[in-house]
Amino acid sequence: MATPPLAILLPPSEGKATGGTRNSAWQPDSGSFGQALGERRHALALALAAAAGGDEKLLGVGGKHLAEAQQANATLLGSRTLPAARRYTGVVWDHLDLASLPAPVRRRAGTSIFVVSGLLGVVALGDPTPEYRLKMGARLAPFGLLGTWWRPALSAALNDALARRVVIDLLPNEHRSAWTPTPDRYRDGVRVVFVERYGKVAGHDAKAAKGELARHLLLVGGDPIAALHTWRHARFDLDINPLT
């Protein structure tokens, strides 16, 4: 039986690799979702530039990191890019460790992982991605809460990409708020929550496990739902529920 097409939904990282490749100026309409989401990306980039990149309250960071984030956010249009797979760093992405996957598995990751982003809406791993800092849970004038503002356009674009796939939702709640699933269009779909062995929903400490689980799904192949049930962790269990 052929392996069903997989879709893994992941959040971006707050920290990001700096810089970018030459001749890679970012345009909002670039990448897999640029045609659908470019206008909204452009509006956000203009608003961030007008706000001098954003303040500490908006960006959730201070000191040297705030100055760096402001500089990146204020100069988004035409800035250098990296593929999303290289731009996103941090705990989830370090434990997913895309670079160490066998070449066929990396290719599968490139067509299977979708990143839900406060600035970009959603990107695939190969999409050109600028350096930025903007949480999905932020409130940016005049748009308000970004998760709510993004929901109609992001849901339409992402659901088109997820059609006939097996969807594994590993998003945090603030990113889930930006997406309304349409389960009848998918081959199958589940929402995964990491739970401590004593029953409490896991927090920040589960980020590493999230990256490890995504890596497991890619490496095991076959039926993604079955692969979920073969994953084991010393600390966390999985609460697996159908997408609704």
State residue 24's pLDDT score: 86
State mean pLDDT over 162-171: 98
Q: Is the pLDDT at 209 greater than 70, yes or no?
A: yes
| Reported pTM | 0.96
Q: Is the pLDDT at 18 greater than 80, yes or no?
A: yes
State residue 205's pLDDT score: 85
Q: Is the pLDDT at 136 greater than 90, yes or no?
A: yes
Question: What SS3 state is found at 206?
Answer: helix
C-alpha triplet 136, 93, 162: angle, nearest 5°: 60
Question: What SS3 state is found at 117?
Answer: strand
Q: Which residues partner with 169 through β-bridges?
A: 9, 191
State residue 46's pLDDT score: 98
Q: What is the pLDDT of residues 45-91, one digit of tens each?
A: 999 999 999 999 999 998 999 999 999 999 999 999 999 999 999 99
State mean pLDDT over 211-228: 95
Q: Is the pLDDT at 165 greater than 60, yes or no?
A: yes
Go through 89-128 and write b for each residue having 16 or more CB atoms within 10 A of its CB, e for each that does not: eebbbebbebeebeeebeebbeebbbbbbbbbbbbbbebb
- Please count the residues of the chain: 244
DSSP 42-105: HHHHHHHHHTTT--HHHHT--HHHHHHHHHHHHT-TT--EEEHHHHB-SHHHHHH-GGGS-HHH
State mean pLDDT over 126-148: 97
State mean pLDDT over 111-139: 98
Question: Which residue from 155, 170, 166 is spatially nearest to 213, judged by alpha carbons?
Answer: 170
